Amino acid sequence: MTHETMRSSESQEASREYKSDETDYDKIRAIEQDEILQNPENVGFNLTMDQLINPRRLGKIAFAQKLIKEAGEEAAFSQLSEEYERPASEIQSVFESTINEEMPKLDNFKDYLNRLPDGVSFRVHPFAPFSPFSLENFRHSGEDGDYLYCDPIAIEQMKLVYEKVNSGEKPGDLSVVMNPYTNERGGNIPDTPEEIQAYSDMCFKFLEQMGLDADAGGICLELGNETNVDHSTLGSNGEPMFKTVDFADHADPIKYAHMYSQVAAAIKAKYPNVKVAIAGTAMFDDKYLETVITEVNNPDLIDKISFHPYRETVEEGAATFENGRCVKSPLNYEQQLKRMEELATSVGASYDVGEISFSHAHGESVDMAELHKNSADAKARGLKSYIWPETQILEYE
């Protein structure tokens, strides 16, 4: 039986339609799954905290469970109430809901992967402050603050992903965003030798925990995400667009290229078949990518480039930037893809597009009709494209 005939009843019932008065994420997920099933060679999925465990939350669960075991439930929540200055009943409610959200993720994730064909493609991009694959949480995952390991449950999930992607007659693509920010507020790209070494160590430890030897491939490490924008980047209305904690205090292509060169060279020296990608840019920012490529000045270190074509419709080009402000691009989507191809060809790299169902209005995804058109466009072009997850689709037909 093929995966075409094994589509879930949810997916069939969804009929690729969605109504605005519904908030059924299972139905949206089924529709997105259907997009991948129809075109696994070109349409992949962005894995986020909706699917991946949150090491910070697991740590808080473990701490609360330890208190409960030592002091009893009432005393434990009383202590936590004082620590967080919130009512004990509220603390207990949050604790229980967190367990219910986090603990089933591994089994749910296995079920999700089983619904998809071998050789499917994924881009792994958890929310930066909670990502298991970030400097901040890599630090916290070790004992006494030492750099010891990435969260083992997250690694177990990634091993399942790796196996799924690299199975079948034609393996898919797997990119994992390794978040370089150095503190919970986002911070900046690693700059000092110590910070760059710590980031390299995290990449090495991740590959080691994945059980990959020096000859292994089948995976790409994306060094950061949307490093071309920062907290001061302005939208068309003159207001900051990227104020959240998963963006840097200051974007600097020279600084990023310096870090990228050293980390990519270290990875290639130890794992020559592991691919390394420049961080995908927010919207279309060929100037940033061109500067980074020029500064890296070594095509052997760049395997892939990408951008996230935020736009309301498939036909229009993604927004771009002028003097730190988001503006309408003079290029349409076809011209933007041609420019990406030129940049990629200049260093012998590949290129793709991520977050294809994301609107130019940051924080809101496009409606389902545009998602279908995005997927069809990817298939028509033979271009690898990645869907943004269901819980981010906030506007419907």
Q: How far apart are CA 370 and CA 381, in angstroms?
A: 16
Q: How far apart are CA 52 and CA 29, in angstroms?
A: 15
- The pLDDT value given to residue 24: 66
> Counting beta carbons within 10 angstroms of the beta carbon of residue 123, is it exposed (0 to 12), middle (13 to 18) or buried (19 or more)?
buried
pTM above 0.85, yes or no: yes
**CB of 158 closer than 8 Å to CB of 164:** no
- The pLDDT value given to residue 101: 87
DSSP H stretches of helix in 231-324: 253-270, 286-296
> Counting beta carbons within 10 angstroms of the beta carbon of residue 107, is it exposed (0 to 12), middle (13 to 18) or buried (19 or more)?
exposed
Please give the distance of CA 75 from its chain centroid, rounded to a whole number. Answer: 39
Domain ranges (residues) in the chain:
9-52+105-392
**CATH: 1.20.1070, 4.10.60, 3.20.20, 1.10.10. Which one for 9-52+105-392?**
3.20.20
- The pLDDT value given to residue 59: 82
Nearest to 351 by CA among 260, 258, 277: 277
Q: How far apart are CA 332 and CA 91, in angstroms?
A: 50
> How does strand 325-327 pair with strand 350-353?
unpaired
- The pLDDT value given to residue 57: 85
- The pLDDT value given to residue 241: 81
Average pLDDT along the chain, 397 residues, taken 10 residues at a time: 38 45 66 86 90 85 89 90 89 89 89 91 88 81 62 92 94 94 65 91 94 94 93 84 77 94 97 97 95 97 95 85 90 94 98 82 65 87 86 45
